[in-house]
Amino acid sequence: MTKPKILVSRRWPQAVEDVMKQKYDVTFNISDEPLSTTAFKEALSVYDAILPTVTDKISSDVFEVKNPRTKIFGNYGVGYSHIDIPAAKAAGITVSNTPDVLSDCTADITLTLMLMAARRAGEGEREVRSGNWSGWRPNHLIGTRITGKTLGIIGYGRIGREVAKRAHFGFGMKIIVQNRSKINNDVLIRTNAQQVDNLDELLEKSDFISLHCPGGTENKHLISSKQFKKMKNTAILINTARGEVVDDEALISALRENQIAAVGLDVFNDEPNINPGLLKFQNAILLPHLGSATQETREAMGFRVLDNIADFFEGKVPRDRVA
Catalytic residues: 242, 271, 289
Q: How far is CA 295 from CA 15, 166, 175, 306, in A?
A: 10, 21, 30, 17
- C-alpha 38/C-alpha 36 separation (Å) is 5
Q: Which of 34, 87, 33 is nearest to 59 (CA)?
A: 87
* Size (the chain), residues: 323
At residue 51, the 3 state secondary structure works out as: strand
Q: Which of 244, 242, 237 is nearest to 260 (CA)?
A: 237
- Count of CB atoms within 10 A of residue 13's CB? 16
Q: How far is CA 93 from CA 3, 84, 244, in A?
A: 19, 11, 25
